[in-house]
Chain A
Amino acid sequence: MENQVRPLKMMGKLTDLVNKYWQDVWKSKKEGELVAWCSGMSPFEILRAMDINVVYPEAYGGFCGVAGISTGLCQRAEALGYSQDLCSIIRNSIGAIHGTPAKEQENLIYGGIPKPDLLFCETYCPGVYKMWEKYSRFYNVPLWVMERPRMHDAFSKEKGAHFVKEGIDELKEMVLFLERLTGRRFNIDRLSQSLVLEREANRLWWDSLELCQNIPAPMSVFDAVSHIFPYYLYRGEPQAVAYNQELKSELLDRVAQKISPMVTEERYRLYWDNLPIFFKLEEHIKKFASYGAVPVVAMNSFLYGSPEDMDPENPLESIVKLSLSVPGNRGLKGRIEFLGKLVEDYSLDGLVMQRTRTCLLNNMGQDDIMKALTEKTGLPAVVIEGDLCDSRLYSDSEFNQKIDAFMEILAQRGSRRN
């Protein structure tokens, strides 16, 4: 029986919501409101609570990748002198902001990235930190950097207490800085209210991920990377809660009807490491589907931490804890434990490790994690060389060759459920 790709019905709403987000940001910018650039895990909640618009230039890389324009933007950054070895998400953004003539910028997807009035990031990704430093100088706007120490095993109350205290002090300083800059008073009750919404949206998202433990999974990793965006762009706002509620309902329907997003019969369930290769999403879905294989879970889907770590009654502490406890902020031991649990919870048959060639952050340790997991679980693994935004660092024939061979290994072993 031919496999059929069945995108979620929510796809239409997703497109509308993302379009609206960018329209609103541009409208605010044109009306003279403040726009802040944030890295993915910056304490954006505080900015929102002070009526500052938030833009995520990293996410812009994902949009450009899916739209198939990211390699061209990366090349524009290279024309400015940036090396191809640098993170392609960053090159994509630099190409859009700096490498594209001003009069052409509005023709870019979503009209490009609005200029920032202030910049926020964490020390989590050194590449983003350096890019923010550059644009702070370039636009002569303030930059606020939050320290985020790694929690090597995993976050715990005892081990994390010192870092939580330091983090709260940093946030308090940040609030004072913003009050001076905007002349507005910070209202902690408003922050608590937004955290109530953020926690609810996050809980719904985790429920949706948990539904993928069902066989067949109602959503693949390739769906999840898109449907996480409403939560990402509208964190702490009612739109994210409403979207995730509807998403969960659709997934529950699919579970009841045993509908897979990609295949007629789900033969193999896979873990996908790292983000998908944005500019190849469609082709990769078809490739895996041709073998009845579905990547059902990725650590990146849990990127924004657990609702259990969120307490709206203690909003500053909650923001810090969330930032420290996310799986991606763990050292090797913590990540291996987290992934080992996914193997069991999601009844996985194999591991696909996407090695993003220009991301040092994710590449370092990936081999160690893979080795530890294959030894611990006995599952086979394959490394796929790729990139998120630079298609010159990816080869179709190599991808196909590796996946074909990997699927032969899986076929030889059979699904764990048979």
Chain B
Amino acid sequence: MELITAGVDIGSTMTKVVIINKEILASIIGPTGAEHRQLADKVMAQALEQAGISFEDVHYILATGYGRINVPFADKQMTEIACHARGIHSFFPTARTVIDIGGQDSKAIKLDNEKVINFVMNDQCAAGTGRFLEVIAEALGLGLEEMGEMSLRAKKKEKISNTCTIFAEQEIVSRLAEGAAVEDIVAGLFEGVVGRIYHMAERLKIENDTVITGGGAKSIGIIKAFEKKLGFTPMVPPEPLLTGAIGAALLGRDLAYGSMERSEPLRRKERRLKSATFFK
């Protein structure tokens, strides 16, 4: 019997749902928004529709990401560190280091096959996260991907020294007023952000193969800056936003098959597809 499992990854900015059996049956990416408790069931419903299956057809649901506790229909919750590791391993079995640039944080994960052996995260600061890049892109009136492409045309790199997102924004406004080229500013910005993430990841000793994932990996500016810093080309999954949700679905599948092999009942919750609420 081919089991169907789902991974629900509620990140700080994006919510992702993946449904798999042997292959990916559905994948949905949508903004998390302020009220993610009301959203998980809707995104799940969209994914089910895309897969052409009903909620009852899904054998196991594993939730991850910052909002994982607000997925009342999930059978289990795990951190995105474990899920990214599993997801990345499925694409790149030789990966030893994963760098995830998410909306709210950035992390580095050291792998031994699909096992997490260590991790580091940025601490109490948005510098080095997707949110930092978003704020700056907004200030410059650019899209994130556009900003990445623009950085490749830079003639030099304007150094942005502030690590605080708000002060960095102010510093950029000042540089623009001084006449600096936008291309040079964004190139300097990527260099700065990548430098911070790289030095954090170096605590784990970065080893090849290295994979960059998360929303940040969608920016060519970030990838090129990493390439320069690492001295080699990092790998990027086909859809960097989905590795956590895919990993969650795969971990769910591992658990489900593990139970079957051991002839143990699969611990599932009595579940209904509904929103989380704290007021009942």
Contact = CB atoms under 8 A, between A and B. Distances in A.
Interface of A: 367, 374, 380-383, 385, 393, 395, 397-398, 401-402, 404-405, 408-409, 412
Interface in B87-131: 105, 115-121, 123-124
Interface of B: 66, 78-79, 81-82, 105, 115-121, 123-124, 203
B108 to A, nearest CB: 12
B123 A398 contact: yes
Contacts of A405: 79, 81-82, 116, 119
Nearest to B79: A405
Nearest to A381: B118
Given A367-B203, A397-B66, A408 B120 contact: no
Contacts of A401: 66, 79, 105, 121
Given A385-B123, A393-B124, A402-B121, A412 B79 contact: no
Between B82, B116, B120, B123, the greatest number of chain A beta carbons within 10 A of the residue's beta carbon is seen for B123
Contacts of B124: 385, 393, 395, 398
8 contacts: A374-B118, A393-B124, A397-B66, A398-B121, A401-B105, A405-B81, A412-B115, A412-B116
A88 to B, nearest CB: 15
B113 to A, nearest CB: 11
Contacts of B79: 401, 404-405, 408
Main secondary structure of the interface of A (DSSP, over half): helix
Between A367, A381, A397, the greatest number of chain B beta carbons within 10 A of the residue's beta carbon is seen for A397
Contacts of B118: 374, 380-381, 409
Nearest to A382: B119
Given A397-B66, A404-B79, 13 more contacts: A374-B118, A380-B118, A382-B119, A385-B123, A393-B124, A398-B124, A401-B79, A405-B82, A408-B78, A408-B82, A408-B116, A409-B118, A412-B115
Nearest to A403: B79
Q: Rank and list the top 6 A-B pairs by shortest CB-CB distance, nearest first.
A: A405-B81, A385-B123, A405-B79, A404-B79, A408-B82, A395-B124
Contacts of A385: 123-124
A409 B66 contact: no
A248 to B, nearest CB: 38
B167 to A, nearest CB: 16
B87 to A, nearest CB: 15
Nearest to A408: B82
B120 A383 contact: yes
A394 to B, nearest CB: 8
Contact of A409 (B105, B116, B123, B203): B116
A42 B81 CA distance: 45
A398 B66 CA distance: 10
Contacts of A398: 121, 123-124
A405 B98 CA distance: 15
A108 B13 CA distance: 43
A367 to B, nearest CB: 7
A412 B78 CA distance: 12
A383 B78 CA distance: 19
B78 A380 contact: no
Between A374, A381, A385, A393, the greatest number of chain B beta carbons within 10 A of the residue's beta carbon is seen for A385
Nearest to B122: A398
A383 B119 CA distance: 9
Given A383-B120, A385-B124, A408 B81 contact: yes
A186 B123 CA distance: 52
Contacts of B105: 401
A395 B125 CA distance: 11
B8 to A, nearest CB: 16
